[in-house]
Amino acid sequence: MTEINGTEMEKCTALEPCATTFHAPEKPKGGTSSCEFSDPAFYNNKSQHIHRWAPWIAGFSKDFVRDSIGRFIPCGGVVLDPFAGVGTTLVESMLTGNDSFGFEINPYAHFVSETKTRAVFVDVEAFGKEIRRFEAFFASCAASDYEAKSTVPEGFRSKVEFYSPNVLKKVLALHDFICQIEQGDVTAMFRLAFSSTMVRYSNYSYEPSLGTRKGSGKEDISDFDVGGLTVMKLKECLEDIEWAQKEMGGKPIPRSEVIHDSFFNYASHIEEGSIDLIVTSPPYLNNYHYNRNTRPQMYWLGFVSSPAEMKGLEESNFGTYWQTARDKDRVDLAFKPECSDIEERLDEIRSMNPEKGTYGGKGWANYAASYFNDCYRLSQGIGHSLRSGSTALVVIGNSIVQGVHVPTDAYFAQIADLVGLETVRIHVPRETRVGNSIKDSGLRSKSKEKKNLYEAIVEVRKK
């Protein structure tokens, strides 16, 4: 089994400048235009207030969200993100004075998103007091033979020892302290500080998928200053909370709701025609396993306690996963594409490497078809949610499956048109997606035609 980074791929050569007449089976509407959007790449958030609290493999920059809000709802409105992740859209909506809704099925990402949007409500005096008390507690633990009451989460297993004995002792002491904090928002800040740093001192690392340190050529971590790193993260959070509260300047706090549910249940949560702007990025067609890669956080924070609970999350994921779809009977499209070669592209994938069984084209075609069926359901949900004349911006990347190029952005635009939305334009602000990748996987077999991996913004409007 191999998995691919959600936003960063191996280095490749550039495409033409951002345009709507790009490599696609059908030319999008709107003609040719230079890209007018900020680079949506998530890495720009790593130094930004609040957004820097928790690392995330995918998503988009806060500048892209803020630019989009300023352009499409300059007088304010209600913003929706069907795939909230760790809350970039919701935080920027809050800071710009706009109500927002987000959907997120991953319990850890939901927790981070909700904690971020509550930053303006945290009692900074109480938070600062708990940080100082924690420093004293950890110093006391180091000076004595402290016996922790907490234990390793039931059901949590790893191929190698997740924490070395010296590190585990400190982690369990940290857990003991968190468990006795009485104020909810402050407790959440400590849980976030732990969960966002916990892999750093484990015997695992992100490369970009979660794997053992030794497997990536690194030494295990026998000991680490867990308390020191936690305090650094806590103080960073405290600084950002003080900044956010000053930024709001006593203005009314907009509504921010993070819905722990699949967006496909939109009708139960979102009133028809109530949303002024959608800014989102669904999982890419790259089989990056968000749930498995946040498994340590979900177990240690108590969101799951067994593999069965993890399995349910995998089956609910947008586009499912190749591991879930590969052994099914032939998966066909649940809609009838018009003026599109999407079915021919799926058939081409299906014909690749038949000698490999489900590890060849058949299994990957099932995965791709499941993905586009969910794109159809997403488009229906966008149509339900948006007010007439309002816009959705969908950040998505193309893919190469079994050596076959799949222009996912163009296909999404065609699907959106099929449900009655209007594709205004496809922008390509990132001509290449560069970084680490697992090479020679079933997903990324060498393409028969030279194609680059790029990132696009599909701009659609409700008529």
Q: Using one digit for the tens of pLDDT, what is the confidence trace for 273-314?
A: 999 999 999 999 999 888 889 999 999 999 999 988 888 888
Return the residue matching tokens 């794109």.
375
Name residue 263's amino acid: F
Please determine, for residue 446, whether its predicted confidence score (pLDDT) is greater than 80.
no
The residues near 453 (Cβ < 8 Å, ≥ 6 apart) are 9, 12, 397, 398, 399, 400, 432, 433
User: Which of 189-193, 323-327, 432-436 has the largest mean confidence?
Assistant: 189-193
Q: How far apart are CA 398 and CA 284, in angstroms?
A: 8
Band (pLDDT 50/70/90 cuts) for residue 40 is low
Domain locations in the chain as residue ranges? 42-106+253-462, 124-248
Per-residue pLDDT tens over the stretch 252-270: 999 999 999 999 999 999 9
Give the pLDDT band of residue 72 (cuts 50, 70, 90): very high
- What confidence score (pLDDT) does residue 116 get? 97
Which residues does 56 contact at the CB level (< 8 Å), separation at least 6?
42, 85, 86, 109
Buried b (16+ CB within 10 A) or exposed e, 266-281: beeebeeebbbbbbbb
Q: Which of 69-83, 229-243, 436-450 has the lowest mean pLDDT?
A: 436-450
pLDDT in tens, 131-177: 999 999 999 998 888 999 999 998 999 999 999 999 999 999 999 99
Q: Is the pLDDT of residue 186 over 70?
A: yes
Residue 65 has φ and ψ, to the nearest 5°, of -65, -45
- pLDDT at residue 37, rounded to an integer: 73
Q: Is the peptide bond before 153 cis (omega within 30 degrees of 0)?
A: no
Model confidence at 46: pLDDT above 80:
no
CA distances from 141 to 136, 170, 174, 203 (A): 9, 8, 10, 23
CATH C-level class of 42-106+253-462 = alpha beta
- Integer CA distances (angstroms), 330 to 94, 134, 347, 356, 367, in order: 44, 56, 11, 16, 10
**Bigger pLDDT: 249 vs 459:** 459
Q: Closest Cα partner for 104 from 87, 79, 92?
A: 87
Do 168 and 152 touch, CB atoms closer than 8 A? yes
- pLDDT at 213 > cutoff 80: yes
pTM of the model: 0.89
Ranges 36-50, 117-131, 170-184, 448-462: which has the least confidence: 36-50
Integer-rounded Cα Rg, in Å, for the chain is 23
Q: Which of 48-57, 73-82, 301-310 has the highest mean pLDDT?
A: 73-82
12 pLDDT tier (thresholds 50, 70, 90): very low
**Which pLDDT belongs to residue 320?**
87
Phi and psi at 214, nearest 5°, equal -65, -35
pLDDT at site 60: 81
